[in-house]
C-alpha cells in the first residue's frame, strides 16, 4: 500500500503501545476502547493480552451479555435444517437478537459508572455495550475460522460447541453466524479506528482503520489475486501438489479456492508486513468500483463469480451430482441465485472423461430406482447406463446449468468457472467410497431427483453444453473466442490466445481471469494507471470494474510462446 509503512504494527506489545498512544492523544479523563470481534476470533486471548499490557480500570467481555447457549440454540434452530448434515436456510437474524437486553444494560451501567481511566470491552457484539471512543475490529478470514473448527479451537456464535463436528459447525456458521456478523460488520467498516489481524495468533497485527480503507480503495484500482487455499478430498489428485509446489507430505489435494471472495482472504502490504483480512471486506467497502454499477445493481455487495480447482489427476471420480434450480434454492435454502457451473479442463490424462447430461430415451423411473438401491447398500449405481461419459482433453469446456446431471471423472484437472454459491451440491451417488473422516459422505437423493432436468439428454447435451466455441475477433498476435456459458447462466466466458499484447476492457463490470496456457504473463495499463501485474500459469486474478482498459501479454519465460487466458464476466 502506498505510504503505509507506519500504519501497521506487529506483536501484542507493539499493538498495546499503539493503542496506548491513541488513548493518550485523546487527553480525556475516561476512554472506552471497544474491540469488536468476528466469530472465530479468540476473544479470551485478545482480552487477556490487552488487559495485561494496558492495565485498564475496567474490563468487560461482551459474551457475558449473550443469551444462554440453550436460548441461542432455540433462536438459530429454524435455520439449521434439522438433521440434515449439510443444508440449512440463510437466516435473517441480527446481532442484537443473540443478547439478553437486561445483561447488556448491566454492562452499560458498569461503563457509565466508571469515572476515569481506560475501559476495555471485547467480543462479538461489543459495540452494543458502548460505541467506543476508540473502535478496534478483530477480523478473521472464513478459511481460518474453518481450520479452527477442525482443531476444536472455536465455538459458533453464542454457543459452547467446539467439540461438535467441524462439518456441523461450518453449516451453522454458513447459514447463521457469518450472515449475522456480516450484517453487523458492514456499517462499522467506515468507523474502524484500527483493524486487528489474528489469523496467525503468533503474529498479531494492528493496522490503522483509515490505512485499511485506503488500501481497499487502492485494490479496486488495479488487478489483484486473493489468497488461495488448498484442501484434500476423497477423490483428490496430485496435479496441484506438483504444479503449485504444495506440501509433499499431504496425501492429496482435491480442492483449491482460487477466487471465492466469501472464503478467501486478501493481503494488504504495509511496509514489509502483510496484513490479512477477508476478501469480503473489499466487496462490502467498494462494491461499485469492484463489481460495476450494473453488476452491483443485480447482486448487491456479493461477488457473483467463482473460480476454483478440482484435481482428480491420479485420484477418483467426483460424486454423481446435480445443482438446484433457481426457485428451488430460493424456496429451500434462502439463496437468491443458484449454483450454475462449468468445467474447463486445465489438464487431462489419457482416458479422462466427464459425465454430463442423460442418455437418450433415459428411463427416469429406473434411474431413480437404481439410485435408491445403491444408496441402501445394494448394487452399485450404473452411472454410464443413465449418463453419457464424454471424452475430455486439455482446454475442453463443459457447461453445467443448474439441473444438469454431471460428474468429473478421474485424471482431470478442472478449473471450475461458476456462479458463487458453492455448497449446494446434491450428491446422488459417491461410488461407494468413504469420506476423509472414514464415514460415508452425505447423499441428498430427494433434493437431487427433484432438480434433474430429464430433457437434457445426450443429443441436447452435445449441441448445447460441450465446447461451444465461437470465434469473435482477432488482431496482431491474438484471437478471441466465446466458450460459454450456457444461455441459462448469467456468466459469459471468453478465451484469448496470444503471443503479443491483447487488449481488454472491463466494460463497467468485474472481470475474473485465469492464465490457462503459458508460464507467465503480465497485465498492464495502457495509460500506466496501475503498476504492471505479473501472473503465472493457473493463477486466477480479478480485474475490478473501475480499471477499464488493460492489456495482457506473455512475459519472462513465456515470451515468444503462445499463452491463453479464460475470462469471465457477468452478462448485463
At residue 71, does pLDDT exceed 80? yes
Strand partners, 517: 564
Q: Using an 8 Å Cβ cutoff, are 321 and 407 in contact?
A: yes
* 542 pLDDT above the threshold of 80: yes
pLDDT tier for residue 5 given thresholds of 50, 70 and 90? confident
Percent of the chain residues past pLDDT 90, beyond the cut: 99
Q: Cβ contacts of residue 3 below 8 Å, gap of 6+? A: none
Fold agreement (8-219, 229-279+291-464): no
CA distance 479 to 499: 10
Judged against a pLDDT cut of 80, whether residue 423 lies above it is answered with yes
At 375, give phi and psi (nearest 5°). Answer: -65, -30
Of the candidates 419, 444, 393, 413, the residue with the CA atom closest to the CA atom of residue 346:
413
Report the DSSP pairing between strands 30-37 and 117-123: parallel
Q: What is the pLDDT of residue 1?
A: 81
The full set of domain ranges for the chain reads 8-219, 229-279+291-464, 470-570
Closest CA to 147 of 274, 242, 42: 42
Per-residue pLDDT band for 42 (boundaries 50, 70, 90) equals very high
Question: pLDDT band at 4, cuts 50/70/90?
Answer: confident
Spell out the residues 6+ positions from residue 422 whose beta carbon is closer than 8 angstroms to its own.
Answer: 260, 262, 263, 306, 308, 339
Per-residue model confidence as pLDDT tens digits over 430-441: 999 999 999 999
**Which CATH number applies to 8-219: 3.40.50, 2.60.40, 1.10.8, 1.10.3470?**
3.40.50
Round to whole Å and give the CA distance between 485 and 305.
Answer: 12
| CATH class as words, domain 229-279+291-464 | mainly beta
Residues 348-398 have pLDDT tens digits of 999 999 999 999 999 999 999 999 999 999 999 999 999 999 999 999 999
Using 50, 70 and 90 to split pLDDT, how confident is the model at 15? very high
In the predicted structure, residue 2 carries a pLDDT above the cut 80 = no
> Model confidence at 90, in pLDDT bands (50, 70, 90)?
very high
Mean pLDDT calculated for residue range 156-178? 97
Burial class for 182, CB neighbours closer than 10 Å (0-12, 13-18, 19+): middle
User: Alpha-carbon distance 417 to 400, whole Å?
Assistant: 10
- The topology (CATH level 3) of 470-570 is Jelly Rolls (2.60.120)
Query: What's the mean per-residue pLDDT of the chain?
Result: 97
Three-state secondary-structure class, residue 508: coil
Judged against a pLDDT cut of 80, whether residue 3 lies above it is answered with no
Amino acid at each position: 500500500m502506498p505510504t503505509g509503512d507506519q500504519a501497521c504494527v506487529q506483536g501484542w506489545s507493539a499493538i498495546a503501545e499503539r493503542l496506548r498512544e491513541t488513548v493518550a492523544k485523546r487527553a480525556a479523563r475516561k476512554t472506552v476502547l471497544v474491540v469488536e470481534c468476528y466469530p472465530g476470533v479468540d476473544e479470551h486471548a485478545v482480552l487477556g493480552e490487552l488487559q495485561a499490557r494496558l492495565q485498564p480500570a475496567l474490563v468487560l467481555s461482551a459474551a457475558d451479555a449473550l443469551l444462554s447457549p440453550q436460548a441461542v440454540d432455540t433462536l438459530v434452530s429454524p435455520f439449521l435444517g434439522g438433521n440434515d448434515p449439510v443444508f440449512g436456510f440463510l437466516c435473517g437474524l441480527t446481532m442484537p437478537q443473540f443478547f439478553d437486553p437486561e445483561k447488556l444494560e448491566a454492562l452499560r451501567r458498569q461503563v457509565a459508572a466508571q469515572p476515569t481511566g481506560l475501559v476495555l470491552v471485547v467480543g462479538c457484539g461489543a459495540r452494543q455495550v458502548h460505541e467506543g471512543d476508540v473502535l478496534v475490529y478483530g477480523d478473521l478470514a472464513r478459511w481460518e475460522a474453518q481450520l479452527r473448527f477442525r482443531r476444536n479451537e472455536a465455538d459458533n456464535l453464542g454457543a459452547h460447541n467446539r467439540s461438535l463436528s467441524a462439518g456441523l459447525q461450518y453449516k451453522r456458521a454458513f447459514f447463521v453466524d457469518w450472515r449475522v456478523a456480516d450484517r453487523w460488520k458492514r456499517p462499522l467498516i467506515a468507523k474502524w479506528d484500527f483493524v486487528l489481524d489474528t489469523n496467525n495468533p503468533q503474529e498479531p497485527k494492528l493496522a490503522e482503520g483509515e490505512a485499511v480503507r485506503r488500501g481497499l480503495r487502492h485494490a479496486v484500482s488495479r488487478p489483484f489475486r486473493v489468497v488461495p487455499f488448498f484442501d484434500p478430498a476423497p477423490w483428490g489428485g496430485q496435479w496441484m501438489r506438483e504444479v503449485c509446489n504444495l506440501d509433499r507430505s499431504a496425501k492429496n489435494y482435491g480442492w483449491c479456492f482460487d477466487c471465492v471472495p466469501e472464503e478467501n482472504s486478501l493481503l494488504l502490504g504495509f511496509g514489509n508486513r502483510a496484513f490479512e483480512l477477508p476478501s469480503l471486506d473489499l466487496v462490502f467497502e467498494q462494491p461499485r468500483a469492484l463489481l460495476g454499477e450494473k453488476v452491483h445493481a443485480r447482486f448487491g455487495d456479493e461477488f457473483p463469480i467463482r473460480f476454483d480447482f478440482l484435481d482428480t489427476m491420479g485420484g477418483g471420480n467426483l460424486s454423481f451430482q446435480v445443482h438446484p434450480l433457481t426457485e428451488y434454492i430460493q424456496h429451500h435454502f434462502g439463496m437468491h441465485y443458484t449454483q450454475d457451473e462449468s468445467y474447463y479442463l486445465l489438464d487431462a490424462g489419457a482416458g479422462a472423461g466427464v459425465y454430463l447430461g442423460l442418455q437418450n430415451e433415459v428411463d427416469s423411473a429406473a434411474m431413480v430406482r437404481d439410485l435408491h438401491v445403491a444408496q441402501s447398500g445394494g448394487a452399485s449405481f450404473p452411472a454410464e447406463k443413465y449418463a453419457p461419459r464424454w471424452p475430455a482433453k486439455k482446454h475442453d469446456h463443459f457447461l453445467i446449468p443448474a439441473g444438469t446431471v454431471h460428474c468429473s471423472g478421474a485424471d482431470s484437472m478442472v478449473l471450475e468457472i461458476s456462479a458463487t454459491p458453492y455448497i449446494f451440491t446434491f450428491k446422488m451417488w459417491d461410488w461407494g467410497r468413504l469420506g476423509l473422516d472414514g464415514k460415508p459422505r452425505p447423499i441428498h437423493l430427494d433434493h437431487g431427483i427433484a432438480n434433474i432436468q430429464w430433457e437434457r439428454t445426450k443429443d441436447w447435451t452435445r449441441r448445447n453444453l460441450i465446447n461451444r466455441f465461437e470465434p469473435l475477433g482477432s488482431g496482431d498476435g491474438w484471437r478471441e473466442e466465446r466458450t460459454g456459458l450456457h444461455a441459462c447462466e448469467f456468466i459469459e466466458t471468453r478465451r484469448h490466445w496470444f503471443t503479443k499484447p491483447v487488449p481488454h476492457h472491463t466494460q463497467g463490470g468485474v472481470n475474473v481471469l485465469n492464465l490457462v496456457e503459458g508460464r507467465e504473463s503480465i497485465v498492464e495499463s495502457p495509460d500506466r494507471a496501475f503498476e504492471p501485474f505479473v501472473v503465472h500459469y493457473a493463477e486466477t486474478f480479478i480485474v475490478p470494474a473501475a480499471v477499464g482498459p488493460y492489456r495482457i501479454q506473455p512475459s519472462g519465460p513465456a515470451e515468444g510462446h503462445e499463452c491463453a487466458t479464460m475470462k469471465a464476466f457477468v452478462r448485463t
